[in-house]
A and B are shown apart, each in its own frame.
Chain A
Amino acid sequence: MTDDRPGGHPGKDERMLQVASQIPMLESVPADAAAQVEDIFRAHADFVWRALRRQGVAEADVEDAVQEVFLVVYRKVDEYVEQGSIRAWLFTISRQVANHYKRSFARRERKQQALMEEPVRRHEGLDAPEVAEAVAVVSAFLAGLGEEQATVFHLVEVEGLTAPEVAASLGVNLNTVYGRLRLARQRFEQMLAERAKQEL
Chain B
Amino acid sequence: MTDPELGQQAREILKRYRSAESLGSDARARMLGGLRAKIAAGTPALGAAKSSLLSRVATAGKTKLILGALAVAVPAAWTIHRSQSSVDYTLRTATPSVPAAPAVTAQPESEREPKAPAADPYGSATAWEQLDVAPELAAPEAEAPASEERRTAKRSASAQRTPGATGSNATTGSNATTPQAVVLEEKAEESPAEAAPTSTLDREMQLMKRAQVAQAAGRPTEALSILAEHAKQFPNGKLTESREVARVIALCQAGQAQASRAAAERFLSARPNSPFANRVRGACAGK
A26 near B207: Cβ-Cβ < 8 Å: no
Q: If the complex has contacts A5-B203, A38-B32, A75-B282, are A131 and B19 also in contact, measured as CB distance less than 8 A?
A: yes
Main SS of chain A's interface residues?
helix
Q: Tell me, in angstroms, the Cα distance from A101 to B3 when the chains sit together.
A: 33
Binary interface profile of A, 12-23, with partner B (CB < 8 Å = 1, else 0)? 101111110111
CB-based contact B184/A15 at 8 Å:
yes
Interface pair B30/A63, CB less than 8 Å apart: yes
Chain B residues 66 to 89 lying within 8 A of chain A, measured CB to CB, are: 84, 86-88
* Most B-side CB within 10 Å, residue of A18, A79, A80: A18
B218 touches A104 (CB 8 A): no
A110 at the interface (CB under 8 A from B): no
A1-56 residues at the B interface, CB under 8 angstroms: 1-2, 4-7, 9-10, 12, 14-19, 21-23, 25-27, 29-31, 33-34, 37-38, 41-42, 45-46, 49-50, 53
| Interface contact B24-A26, CB-CB below 8 Å | no
A100-B277, A124-B24, A185-B6 in contact; A17/B217 too (CB < 8 A)? yes
Q: Does B146 contact A (CB under 8 A)?
A: no
Q: B100-138 toward A: CB 8 Å interface, digit per residue (1/0)? A: 000000000000000000000011101100000000000
Question: Does any Cβ of B come within 8 Å of A116's Cβ?
Answer: no
For B184, the chain A residues whose CB sits under 8 A away are: 12, 15-16
- Tell me the complex Cα distance, A189–B184, Å: 68
Residue A130, interface by CB 8 Å: yes
> Does B123 lie within 8 Å of A122, measured CB to CB?
no
Contacts of A75 in B (CB 8 A): 84, 87-88, 91, 282
Residue numbers in B under 8 Å from A72 (CB-CB): 282, 285
B197 engages A5 (CB within 8 Å):
yes
Give the number of chain A interface residues (Cβ < 8 Å).
80
Interface size class of B (residues with CB under 8 A): 35 or more
B183/A135 in contact, CB under 8 A: no
Closest A residue, CB atoms, query B4: A185
Nearest opposing residue in chain A for B274, CB measure: A104
Give chain A interface residues in 114-170, CB to chain B under 8 Å: 120-124, 127, 130-135, 137-139, 156-158, 160
Q: Is B28 on the interface with A (CB-CB < 8 A)?
A: yes
CB–CB B13/A192 < 8 A: yes
Q: Once the chains bind, are A96 and B281 in contact (CB under 8 Å)? A: yes
**A104-B94 contact, Cβ under 8 Å, with A22-B126, A25-B86, A135-B20:** no
Q: Say whether A138 contacts B28, CB under 8 Å.
A: no
Bound complex: CA of A72 vs CA of B87, how far in Å?
Answer: 10
27 A-B interface contacts by CB (under 8 A): A1-B197, A6-B210, A14-B217, A19-B179, A22-B126, A26-B90, A26-B93, A27-B94, A63-B27, A63-B34, A75-B87, A89-B286, A104-B272, A104-B277, A120-B23, A120-B27, A121-B21, A121-B24, A122-B25, A131-B19, A132-B20, A134-B12, A134-B15, A157-B14, A158-B18, A185-B6, A192-B10
- The interface of chain A, by Cβ under 8 A from chain B, is 1-2, 4-7, 9-10, 12, 14-19, 21-23, 25-27, 29-31, 33-34, 37-38, 41-42, 45-46, 49-50, 53, 63, 66-68, 70-72, 74-80, 89, 92-93, 96, 100, 103-104, 120-124, 127, 130-135, 137-139, 156-158, 160, 182, 185, 188-189, 192
